[in-house]
Amino acid sequence: MKEINVPPVATPYQRELALVWPVSWWHAPDQSTCRCVSDPRKQRHEIWLADSTVRAPEPSLADIVHELCHLYLAERVDAAFSTVWFSDRWNKLSRADPVRFGQAAQMLYLAWCQVDIWVNDLRHSRWPEFTAADHSSFAQGVMFLLLKQEESVLARPETLLGLTQYQAEQERHSLSGSPDLFAVLLADGKKVGKDIRRLARNFSSLPRLQYNAAEDLKILETSIAQTARQLEFPINPRLISEEGIWVWDLG
């Protein structure tokens, strides 16, 4: 990776969020989109940008601002809303048994993706146009997959969780202008499982953050553990404090 200057299109949004910790920007060619890392020990952030985003940041502005909102929650609530940090026990397992660690970590990441609901709550409260852009782009992507009959892609956990988030935000933000993708899939003969529909309802009814670390961390821990159970993942995610920061132990 190579450190780069902040993309000019991101500057006004970074300034408006009034982040306190310094933010460094990195060109990360192995990334498919944007990613952020918040280090509460050093009190600094990094945003990693994919090749395509570095070349043309404007089309990815909704994603960039999404990452900046992660950083805002890291500072105002806790870094657990921005970055997944693992307990010392699981970090040791990553070296001793990388296969087992990788499987468990992937399950946590999939369950943790619901953090994006809260991140987008914040972004929508300030810049609702990005919610509309995201939903339009996602819906077009699903329509394209249906057109090309890419059923294996539609069945991927990442795609299904993206659908649950889309449907949840549609209700959460009263987005009457975007299509009901569950209905679209059903009309195309694709069955939407009860578990996915239930998960979408759960995501839509997630409690709003109170910007109180103790309360919000409990909401985070409880809801992610619930999602892991609903997805029938054999992990028991819980937040524990180590060296002054909140990290994930997976049971």
Q: What is the 3-state secondary structure (H, E, C) of 118-150?
A: HHHHHHHHHCHHHHHHHHHHHHHHHHHHHHCCC
Q: Cβ(234)–Cβ(71) under 8 Å?
A: no
Is residue 55 a part of any domain in this protein? yes
Is residue 81 a part of any domain in this protein? no
pLDDT greater at residue 37 or residue 153: 37
Res 157: pLDDT: 87
Instruction: Say whether both 181 and 111 belong to one domain.
Output: yes
Instruction: Say whether both 133 and 181 belong to one domain.
Output: yes
Residue 27 has what DSSP assignment? E
Q: Read off the pLDDT of residues 60-107 as tens digits, 9 standing for 90 and up.
A: 999 999 999 999 999 999 999 999 999 999 999 999 999 999 999 999
Instruction: Say whether both 187 and 131 belong to one domain.
Output: yes
Q: Number of structural domains, the chain?
A: 2
Res 155: pLDDT: 85
Is residue 63 a part of any domain in this protein? yes
Is residue 83 a part of any domain in this protein? no
Question: Is residue 31's pLDDT more than 90?
Answer: no
Parent domain of 244 = 88-249
Q: How confident is the model at residue 33 (pLDDT cuts 50, 70, 90)?
A: confident
pLDDT greater at residue 198 or residue 151: 198
Beta strands in the chain (DSSP E): 2-4, 23-27, 35-39, 44-49, 238-242, 245-249
Is residue 27 a part of any domain in this protein? yes
Instruction: Say whether both 39 and 133 belong to one domain.
Output: no
Closest CA to 49 of 21, 76, 26, 30: 26
Instruction: Say whether both 183 and 208 belong to one domain.
Output: yes
- Among the candidates 22, 56, 76, a domain finishes at 76
Is residue 226 a part of any domain in this protein? yes
Q: How far apart are CA 136 and CA 177, in angstroms?
A: 10
Q: How much is the average pLDDT of 218-229? A: 96
The angle subtended at Cα 101 by Cα 99 and Cα 106, nearest 5°, is 100
Q: Read off the pLDDT of residues 164-220 as tens digits, 9 standing for 90 and up.
A: 999 999 999 998 888 999 899 888 888 888 888 999 999 999 999 999 999 999 999
Residue with tokens 């991140």, as numbered in its chain: 119
Instruction: Say whether both 109 and 8 belong to one domain.
Output: no
Instruction: Say whether both 118 and 180 belong to one domain.
Output: yes
Instruction: Say whether both 115 and 231 belong to one domain.
Output: yes
Instruction: Say whether both 63 and 13 belong to one domain.
Output: yes
Instruction: Say whether both 107 and 217 belong to one domain.
Output: yes
Q: How confident is the model at residue 147 (pLDDT cuts 50, 70, 90)?
A: confident
